[in-house]
Amino acid sequence: SQTIHQWPATLVQPVGSPLSLECTVEGTSNPNLYWYRQAAGRGLQLLFYSVGIGQISSEVPQNLSASRPQDRQFILSSKKLLLSDSGFYLCAWSVQGGLGAFFGQGTRLTVV
């Protein structure tokens, strides 16, 4: 069966510091991978998605970036965090062709 791992579970970072969140998927090949953010009291917002190694599509202009160095690894990064980057970050995967997405445990990021 497929599993998705995301870490860390919680993170407190000062403004201006860098960020690296990692996500890996097991039990499937060539998945679509996604980064979503859920801000307090708001819906999930798609940040990035990837349909293959090195292929990244950005949905929202921001100071975040994403990379996919391996088939089942997806990384979310920032060079300098802003207060507005606080939120619940969720990695997800789906099979090629869509049909819904499956989420990791999430990382709760607080920028102070």
Residues in the site for another protein, rule: CB under 8 A? 32, 34, 41-46, 49, 51, 57, 59, 90, 94, 96-106
Report d(CA 35, CA 14) in Å as an integer.
22
Nearer residue to another protein within complex by CB, 50 or 78 = 50
Nearer residue to another protein within complex by CB, 9 or 14 = 9
Least separation in angstroms between residue 62's CB and another protein is 17
Residue 105's CB is within 10 A of a number of other CB atoms, namely 14
Residue 70's CB is within 10 A of a number of other CB atoms, namely 11
Least separation in angstroms between residue 72's CB and another protein is 16
Token digits of residue 36: 């979503």
Q: What is the DSSP string of 9-31?
A: SEEEE-TT--EEEEEEEES-SS-
Nearer residue to another protein within complex by CB, 49 or 74 = 49
Least separation in angstroms between residue 92's CB and another protein is 8
